[in-house]
Amino acid sequence: MRILAIETSCDETALALLECSGSIESPVIKAISQALYSQVKEHAPFGGVFPALAKREHVKNIVPLFLECLEKGQMLKKGSTELSEEKLATIKTMLDHERGLFEQFKEHIVPLERPAIDAVAVTRGPGLEPALWVGVNFAKALSYLWDMPIVPTNHMEGHIASVLVNEGASQIAYPALALLASGGHTELVLIDKPLSYRRIGQTRDDAVGEAFDKVARLLGLPYPGGPQISKLAAGVRAKELPPSDIKFPRPMVNSDDYDFSYAGLKTAVLYKIQELGELTDELKERIAYEFEEAATDVLISKTKKALEAHGAQVLIVGGGVIANVYLRERLTNLAAEAGVILMLPTRELSTDNAIMIGAAAYLHLASGESYQPYSPTSTALEADGTLRL
């Protein structure tokens, strides 16, 4: 079956076409094409994602990206769809909240031939609500226009499902444990069977990606800070310098649960910077390195504890922070020591994308759940910024 997937939960506008088959136990999930625009440059001056700006950028880019995605998938054909005035008026009402979106939709999408797509998947949450709504309303309009079932999807489930993409007949053995680490989340999720998620730990304050971004800002590095910190830290490792006396705490590393806390670590970095005064490049590298060590140690130690306590056979990881090379290395070692299979998405699939959203939607479709085309009178579908697994 062919799925069109849409993701606008944060600062990436992403669309993808997938070809999926197989059972929920052994799905075959392949990306046919994708189109993605990252708004990093737009948000950089603000040092973080600015919701109103994210929404505006999604509105500006979603139609061109949709066309690009169809074109790449060789599914873009001009047609002669007859559309009633009434149906067009309904679509206008559905897109009214996104200024200018209806006009683009009418000009570029309405005249297309209906592509052979079996379902449209869209991120419903969690994320920034103004941003989520753009994808949700766009997906509703497409679903209504072309009579395609719409599958509302959880972004975090998408990060989990990202490990199933392009792996041929890859399978998850249960119970599995998922570590999700991104700019908005730090969670450990136990998966006893397909589609059954139980969150056993989470951050009590900042997410780990947020801590990377905040520490980067303290060091005067551009947003997003994760990759910058990672680069500096890698420099220190390559030089094999003697240990320094800069050391940071590992918050909650010995606590009797699977929760995390990153606000205190960030504050410790702030105090250290204030104490040091003028920061040389060498000191900045050192701080980045020591911070990355501390942040990673806690992730690894809690994950290890959860793997052991729950007898997990598989460790699934996902979220933007998983793009971190050092963390990937530590996770690989952890899995080898613990004797579990590590399912690690490629770096491109670790950060936000639409392929993972299509993958999560397929799991639900493959399980036999039924989804209908969007109808303004009978479908309730809303973006939900705080949606949980």
**123 CB contacts (<8 Å, ≥6 apart)?**
6, 7, 8, 9, 132, 135, 136, 153, 154, 155, 158, 357
Residue in 120, 122, 161, 166 with CA at minimum distance from that of residue 142: 120
**205 CB contacts (<8 Å, ≥6 apart)?**
261, 262, 263, 264
Contacted entry of Zn ion, ligand KG4, none for residue 323, CB cut-off 5 to 8 Å set by kind: ligand KG4
Interface with ligand KG4, residue 64, by CB under 6 A:
no
State the binding string over 172-211 for ligand KG4 (x if CB under 6 A, else -). Answer: ----------xxx------------------------xx-
CB 33 within 8 A of CB 16: yes
Report the residue number, 285 or 352, with the smaller CB distance to ligand KG4: 352
Q: How many residues are present in the chain?
A: 389
Least gap, CB of 1 to ligand KG4 (angstroms):
26
Least gap, CB of 372 to ligand KG4 (angstroms):
29
State the binding string over 326-365 for ligand KG4 (x if CB under 6 A, else -). Answer: -------------------------xx-------------
Residue in 118, 72, 74, 153 with CA at minimum distance from that of residue 354: 153
Report the residue number, 135 or 224, with the smaller CB distance to ligand KG4: 224
Which of the stretches 115-123, 165-173, 226-234, 329-337 binds ligand KG4 when contact is defined by CB under 6 A? 226-234
Which of the stretches 251-259, 321-329, 332-340, 371-379 binds ligand KG4 when contact is defined by CB under 6 A? 321-329
Question: DSSP secondary-structure letter at 349?
Answer: H
In the bound state, the residue with its beta carbon closest to Zn ion is 182
Least gap, CB of 319 to Zn ion (angstroms):
6
Ramachandran bin of 154, using left for φ above 0, alpha for ψ from -120 to 50, beta for the remaining angles: beta
Least gap, CB of 71 to ligand KG4 (angstroms):
25
User: How many other β-carbons are positioned within 10 Å of the β-carbon of residue 150?
Assistant: 25
Do the bridges between strand 2-7 and strand 119-125 make them parallel or antiparallel, or are there none, so unpaired? parallel
Contact positions vs ligand KG4 (CB under 6 A): 10, 182-184, 209-210, 212-213, 224-227, 230, 319-321, 323-324, 351-352
